[in-house]
Amino acid sequence: MKKALLFLITILTFTICHAQTDSAEKHNEVGLKKDDMADFAGALIEFNKAIALNPNKGEYYFNRGLVQTALNDGKAAVADLTKAIELEPQNARYYNYRGIAKSDVLHEYANACADYTAAIKLDPTVANYFYNRAGEEDNLQDYTGAIEDYTKAIKLNGKDGDYYYGRGMMKRMLDDHKKALIDLDKAIKLDATQARFYNERAIIKENLQVYNGAIIDYDKAVVLDAQNAEYYYNRGLLKRDLEDYSGALIDYNMAILLDTTNLNYYLERGYAKYGISDIPGALADCDKAIRMAPDSSDSYYKRACIKYWSEDIAGALKDFTIAKELAPKDVDAVYECGKMKFYLKQYDAAITDMDNVIDRDAKYANAYYFKGAAKIELGQTTAGCELLAKAQALGCEEAVDQIKNRCK
C-alpha cells in the first residue's frame, strides 16, 4: 500500500512539474509574440509569469531582459541578463545583449565593451559582436581599436554596409578622409537606401573640399529621409561656408521646423541672417537660443560675434564676458573680451586679458598682437614692438602692417 502511494505521489509530482513547464513555455511564447508587436508592457507580464513557473531557465530571463532594455529600464535589464548568464554561462548572446543594455540605456561603455569581449571569446565567428564592440570603442574615443574591430566584422561578413559605414566614420575621426571615402562608397554600393550613409559621405567630401559632391550627397540624404533635421542642418552649414546664406537659411528653417529643441539650429540661422544683412533677425535667433539654454556659453559667444560684426562693441563685450563666466576654461572667450576692451581703449584691461590667454596658450598669436598693440597705445613702444614681432613669428598676419607702421 505504501509503495502504491509513493508511486502515485511521484506521478502527481511529475505531472504537476510537467504542466508548470508547459505553462511557463506558453507564457514565454505569448511574451515573444507581444514583443514582436512592440507590446513591451504586455510581454513583460508574460515573461514574469514564465519565470514564476520556471525560475531556472536562462532563456526566460534573457527575453525579459530584452524587454526591459526596450523599456529603458537598464538596471532591471542588466539584472535579468546577468541571471541568464549565471544559468547559462557559455551563451555568448547573453553577454552581447547585456553589453547592449549597458551601452544603450546605462551608457556604461567600458562595461559594455567587456561584455562584447566575453561574447567574442565564447564565439569569435559572429560579426555583430565585433561590430558592437567597435561602437563602444568609438564611444570611448578608441578610434584605432574601433577600426580593427570593424575590419574583423567585415572579414566575417563583407556584405553589411553598416560595417563599412562605421569604419569609414572612424577613419574620418582620424582625419584619414580618402580611405574613409572608399569605405562609404562601399557602404552605399551595398545599400543605397540609407540616408545616413550619404550624410556621412557628404561630411567626408566636405573635408576633402569636394563641395559639389558633398551637396549632392546631402541632397540624396534629404530625399531618402526628409524628416531628419540633422541632414538639413549639415547642408546648411556647408552652404554657409560657401557663402550661400540664403540657401543656408532655407535649410536651417527646415531643420527648426522638424526640431524646435536644438539651439544650434537657431544660432546658425542667426549667422545666416547676418549674412543676408538681417541683423535684427540674427539677434532674435540668438536671443531665442539663450532663452532655451541660459547657461549656454556658446549662445552668448555667438550673439557677441554678431554684435561685434555689427559694430556694437560694448554689447559684444558684455556677451563675451558672460560667455567667459559660463565657460571659464574657454580661452577664446577671454581673448575676445580682451580684444573688445582694446577697441574700447581699455588698454590695461585688454593687456590683463591677453596675459591670461598667453598663460594658458603660449602660442596664441593674436593675443601677443593685441597685447603689443595695447602697450604701444600706452606709450610702451619697445615692449609693444617685441610682442608684435612674437605675434608675427607665430603667424599673425595683422602684425606685419603694425610693425611697418608703428615700429621704426
Of 262, 293, 319, the position where a domain reaches its end is 319
Q: What is the pLDDT of residues 395-404, one digit of tens each?
A: 999 999 999 9
Of 266, 300, 319, the position where a domain reaches its end is 319
Location of C-alpha cell 617685441: 386
Question: Based on the domain organization, do 344 and 391 belong to the same domain?
Answer: yes
Considering the domain boundaries, does residue 176 fall inside one?
Answer: no
> By CB neighbour count within 10 A (0-12 exposed, 13-18 middle, 19+ buried), where does 115 fall?
buried
Q: What is the pLDDT of residues 64-95, one digit of tens each?
A: 999 999 999 999 999 999 999 999 999 999 99
Give the separation between CA 324 and CA 344, rounded to whole angstroms: 18
- Domain of 341, CATH number, reads 1.25.40.10
Q: What is the pLDDT of residues 1-57, one digit of tens each?
A: 444 444 444 444 444 444 455 688 999 999 999 999 999 999 999 999 999 999 999
Question: Based on the domain organization, do 277 and 347 belong to the same domain?
Answer: no
Of 319, 349, 366, the position where a domain reaches its end is 319
Q: To the nearest whole percent, how much of the chain has pLDDT over 70?
A: 95
Considering the domain boundaries, does residue 273 fall inside one?
Answer: yes
Question: Based on the domain organization, do 341 and 295 belong to the same domain?
Answer: no
Q: How many domains does the chain have?
A: 2
Residues spanned by the domain of 256 = 227-232+240-319
Confidence (pLDDT) at 408? 75
122, 144, 156, 353 from 182: Cα distances, Å: 32, 17, 19, 46
Considering the domain boundaries, does residue 258 fall inside one?
Answer: yes
Q: What is the pLDDT of residues 151-210, one digit of tens each?
A: 999 999 999 999 999 999 999 999 999 999 999 999 999 999 999 999 999 999 999 999
pTM, 2 dp: 0.87
C-alpha cell at 248: 543656408
Count CB neighbours of 395 within 10 A.
10
Question: Based on the domain organization, do 339 and 313 belong to the same domain?
Answer: no
Across the chain, what does the average pLDDT equal?
Answer: 94
